[in-house]
Amino acid sequence: MIQPVKIHGRAIGPGYPCFIIAEAASNHDRDLGKAKALIDAAVEAHADAVKFQVFSAETIAANTRHPIAILNDQFKAHGRTLQELYKNAELPREWTAILAAYARERQITFLSTPFDHPAVDELVALKVPALKIASFEIVDFPLLRKCARTGLPIIMSTGMANMGEVEEAVEVVKAEGSREIALLHCNINYPPPYEEINLRAIDAMREALQLPVGYSDHTTGDHIPIAAVARGACIIEKHFTLSRKKGSGPDHSFSMEPDELARMISRIREVEIALGDGRKRCPPSEEKHRLRGRRSLFYTRNIAAGEVVREPDLIALRPGVGLHTRFMPEIIGRKLARDVRAHDPISWDDFMGERA
């Protein structure tokens, strides 16, 4: 039995509505007004939570000239080195409290990802209802332990990890007494190739670890997160921006704009309704069509009382107001108790006793 995680009184897990996190990431572009506008957009899109990130360039990346830290890919426009990239993207730490207060004012759950130990303390002081662990950080066991000791629910992304690494990170958190843990399947490419997304890993992690599992999406559309919900993802995390064209940070290009975020959330809610309870039955709205459109048995000609009904006298036609077609063998050979006309629906009251 998978126990749900509770965030602000919302149960998150199998059988509960999907918890949708609008990920602002670095799309604030170090502009407080824009950061607040992102919160507004998340509210208007009906997201369950809006999430930022708390990091400082000096505590997240080394000031190194190692080749892997030199940016020659899609991120090179945002910094020459890894540390420069983060410096240009970091949210001024004093803004976290301002944004948390503004989110409370707008009545949306405020979440954030801590990337160092002071960030954990800062978020606890702000009374955040849960902590989010980024994919890159699940090998930072000291940070995992720090987060777990807060007693807050943990949402852990698992991009780049194999099952053994996920299991090890979960055990590290559990060893500190944490019991409310949710995982997010993720591919950290921006965007990922479809052949590497592997949504079936959601099922694998849920079954292996018996924890709620969601999906953190970096694709450019909404069909993959919607498909994840259909596979049972109980959390969806999706990057969003006010404008892909006007943003200056590294996350804008693969982020959803507000109208796209709202449309995705609306479609997810429709899919959740459409999933139903799994019991195969005729719903009330189909009853009329069931009667009108299903075939049943009718007579093909006028037949007088006392005659024996033969196979050519019977036909299966719509609507379903006559006897079920399964009874055709039992009707053949019976004597009629009354006159019938062509295209009359067949009833048991039409016949005398036993078959002739």
Res 75: pLDDT: 74
Res 297: pLDDT: 98
Q: 284-355: what CATH class?
A: alpha beta
Domain with CATH 3.90.1210.10 in the chain: 284-355
C-alpha closest to that of 331 among 306, 356, 303: 356
C-alpha closest to that of 222 among 20, 11, 17: 20
Residue holding tokens 């009359």? Answer: 344
268-274 — which CB contacts under 8 Å span 24+ positions? 268/18, 268/20, 268/225, 268/226, 268/229, 268/236, 269/17, 271/226, 271/229, 271/230, 272/17, 272/18, 272/229
Sequence-distant (≥ 6) Cβ neighbours of residue 116 within 8 angstroms: 54, 55, 56, 59, 60, 143
Res 115: pLDDT: 97
Using DSSP, state whether 166 is helix, strand or coil: helix
The C-alpha atoms of residue 195 and residue 65 are separated, in whole angstroms, by: 33
pLDDT at 187 over 90: yes
The C-alpha atoms of residue 102 and residue 107 are separated, in whole angstroms, by: 9
Res 356: pLDDT: 60
Residue pLDDT, tens place only, 84-120: 988 888 999 999 999 999 999 999 999 999 999 999 9
Q: Which CATH architecture has domain 10-55+91-275?
A: Alpha-Beta Barrel (3.20)
Beta strands in 204-344 (DSSP E): 213-217, 235-239, 296-299, 314-317, 334-336
What torsion do the CA atoms of 87, 93, 98, 101 make, to the nearest 10 degrees?
120
Domain with CATH 3.20.20.70 in the chain: 10-55+91-275
Res 78: pLDDT: 75
Question: For residue 46, which phi and psi values (nearest 5 degrees)?
Answer: 70, 35
Indicate the pTM of the whole model: 0.91
